[in-house]
Structure 1
Amino acid sequence: MLLVDLQQLQNFLVIAQEENITHAAEYLHISQPALSRQIQALEKEFGKPLLIREAKKVSLTKDGVLLRKRAAEITNLVTKTNDEMRADHHELDGDILLGVSETDAIQVIGRAASRLISQYPKVTLKLRNGNNESILSRVNSGVVDLGLYFGQVDQTVFNSFALPRLNRFGALLPKQNPLATKGVITPDDLVPESLILYQGALDDGSLAEWFQRDIADLKITGTFDMYLSAKKMVESGLGIALVFDDLVDYQDSDLVCRPIAPEIAIPVSLIWKKYQIFSETVQALLTLVKQSMGVD
């Protein structure tokens, strides 16, 4: 009969994620020798090695890969069962930390959080604003529980599912600009112009691909992470901004937002660190979001 407890399996998943026992021990707030002994006990219990130990990292053996899969299934099942058994008798509380950039996909999370908080008033959703890169870093380091991320993430490091939103770029410009009379604005229209560009789209190469030229060849007069700042820069005469067209309120201003072609549509995903062990409160929110999306 195997004598393996849930905590051992959860700790093994963290080691598999971190690929380093010292880093995993720091993440788990236990000593490195204690964690090493746990893994040695697992290997003794199963009668086979689970890790390939190298100087600065560990990787999984074939049996270790199988255990990672089964351990994830077991811990998820235990969490789900615990939630179901305690749903009517347990008061949830605490903070849910969500890393966000500007996107109306936050409405999906907000609706789920509203349902949760109406049942458990001691729960609070706290947003941590940042750009795409900082959100990825915060999720990976555990500074936030969940994150809203633009584009695709490394599926070996993060879990994710796409939200029913696409961020579409448009060109925000003054009404008196001659390009404002056009129904659609193209890369060739913008190349001669002074441009204010989203830093995240510069970093991931999507704007270079759209312009079909080196970014250094463009006249970039400003970059931004927050869309209100982009609007203010356009109003000040700094240039034309490429922005997510549904995020900037320009209706009562001297600005217009025109569609661009070809279209740039960026998916938004809810992400969290693979094998993350959530609090019951965070797990409850994630479950509600999944239910609203029809995701298992």
Structure 2
Amino acid sequence: MILDIKQLAYFLAIAEEGNITKAAERLHIAQPPLSQQLKLLEEELGVVLMERSTRKIQITDAGRLLQNRAKQIIELMEKTTKEFKDLKEGLQGTLSIGTISSAGAALLPAEIQIFHEKYPGVDFRIRENTTFEIVELLKGGVVEIGIIRTPFNQDTFSSINLSDEPMVAGALDSFWNGDTGYLDLTALEGKPLLMHNRYANNIEEACRKAGFEPRVICRADNTRSMLKWASIGMGIVIIPRDMISLEQDVKLHFREIKEESLITRTVIIWMKNGHLSTPARHFLELFHT
């Protein structure tokens, strides 16, 4: 015995209308074929679903059971069809994103809120990693979208530029002697410097081009730790400007370094020749507008 959706829909119309003629009008079909469908359904199930009379149809206990089940089955089929449609259109699914810490703290909350309001059926999986780690996660298919800092391999990844961030130097006021505003690299000569490993080589090279050998007392991978060390007077921390927000409790004064070669760029990237889910494509659209 195999019941199809059309049979159930026909039966449900008859049960709800209480009359085959009205049900046929509702379904836009002739009455004889509808009566035949009801008879075939009863034969397949081996039960009487409706008691016929000249005035109306009386539904039996077996008919009421099938009526309830038919409603559930049709609603489930409609829901399933909608879910597949939503999945195809990116209204449901899971979006995996890898992000550097500064973007995770400053950029993603606003963008995710906008995206969630438009696509509430999409779930997020967010991973905070270094740029190098995010690149590897993208290559391995663990995340679909990465938010990183330049440089990156432009032959492998497509990208959208998000923001340019100059380097800033942060220290206690005593290191600056009251100076404010932009900072020339030469002002760092002889000062104890704290640098992130990712940017240290570029900063050191820029210092040498400016005519001095930088006094680097620490190279590290943890920006929050360096901000705290600078806040106790250990030295001057040099970081991209948007990293300032990573540690709220430090009492540092920041000055922007006037050096074009040290400007970093935050970009959103994805595999150039890889498959992007529909939710991922919708998310990228936020950055095209």
Q: Structures share a fold, TM > 0.5?
A: yes
CA distance in 2, matches of 1:89, 1:95: 13
Structure 1 runs of 4+ off > 6 angstroms?
Answer: none
CA shift for structure 1 position 161: 1.8
- Counterpart residue number, 1:235: 231
User: Tell me, what secondary structure is at the counterpart of 1:285?
Assistant: helix
- Counterpart residue number, 2:7: none
CA distance in 2, matches of 1:158, 1:235: 38
CA distance in 1, matches of 2:174, 2:284: 46
- Counterpart residue number, 2:101: 102
Superposed, 1:158-173 pairs within 5 Å as 158-163=157-162, 165-173=163-171
Percent of pairs with identical residues: 20
Superposed, 1:1-296 pairs within 5 Å as 86=85, 92-104=91-103, 109-163=108-162, 165-202=163-200, 205-212=201-208, 217-249=213-245, 254-263=251-260, 264-290=262-288, 292=289
Return 178-187 or 228-237, whichever deviates more: 178-187
**Unpaired runs of at least 5, structure 2:** 1-83
In our comparison, the structure showing a higher alpha carbon Rg is: 2
What letter matches 2:117 in structure 1?
A: S
Is contact 1:108–1:289 with CA below 8 Å preserved after alignment?
A: no
CA shift for structure 1 position 124: 2.5
RMSD, aligned CA: 3.2
CA shift for structure 1 position 147: 0.8
User: Tell me, what secondary structure is at the counterpart of 2:244?
Assistant: coil
**Unpaired runs of at least 5, structure 1:** 1-84
CA shift for structure 1 position 137: 1.7
Is contact 1:133–1:200 with CA below 8 Å preserved after alignment?
A: no
- TM-score with structure 1 length normalisation? 0.58
CA distance in 2, matches of 1:279, 1:243: 34
CA distance in 1, matches of 2:251, 2:108: 33
CA distance in 1, matches of 2:127, 2:195: 22
CA distance in 2, matches of 1:247, 1:278: 29
Aligned length: 203
CA shift for structure 1 position 91: 6.8
With over 3 angstroms needed to count, the CA separation of the structure-2 counterparts of 1:97 and 1:194, relative to structure 1, is same
